[in-house]
Structure 1
Amino acid sequence: MTDASVDQGPLTLRWGVLVLWIQAALVTVLAVVEIVQLIRNGADRFETAAWIIAGPLVAAAALFFAGRLLVNRKPAGRGLAVAIQLSAVPVVFFMITGDSDAWVKVLGAVIGVSVIACVALVVAPASRKAIGL
């Protein structure tokens, strides 16, 4: 079978999966940085630290899993992807509107744009048709 005959799906779905996987990678990096900081600072409450680290790791795994479901054209991937993106909206809101440094506000805006882009790409008509909805 040649590469030209393999159906890779619509461009919107492929870009949506790419955004999901980039988000998963960045959230994983965030969790690793937090682990390194906790070890470096000698955290004395490892139970609390474990819960703080578990959240981003679970989110990263869910983002990756949603992407895999979409690659395999499973409708559940779309629901999972949209649900995860919507859970980021309150975080983005408080990053942008809170009393924080300018770089946090810019980072919040970038995350917000990636959330909007991912949802738009995943629910686009071409993506919906490709996953059988």
Structure 2
Amino acid sequence: MAETPYLISFEQGGTVLEGVLTSTQFARQLPFAVKRVFWIQGTPPERVRGHHANRNTQEVLVALTGSINVKAETAEGVSEFILSAPNHGLYIPALCWTELTFAEGTIALCLASTDYDEQDYLRDYGKYKQLIGKV
């Protein structure tokens, strides 16, 4: 059975007076070892990002500020998530087609299981559907 996306909660500490620290220090919260970290900012609200899946890469997506509407499709079906708190991340397994819509001013952080490799990306939805056997 293929993996499906799911939400992960991160540990937080601190107070309103001193600030809050959110951490993945307890690695058991992440389903993979992180090899790459990147962030996305300045995406216009009318622009939908994603429109791809990865063959091997797993990711955890976090909205550090703002919110992200995520449509995630796997061989198991389609799920929708709203990320709007920096202490929650969305696990995105390999072979998961995503479409992301950002609220204005959103900054997203992504933790990835692999280094960037264009060959890992599936950018043709028809080919993706064939690969997961849903044509």
TM-score (norm 1): 0.25
Larger radius of gyration between Structure 1 and Structure 2: 1
More strand by share: 2
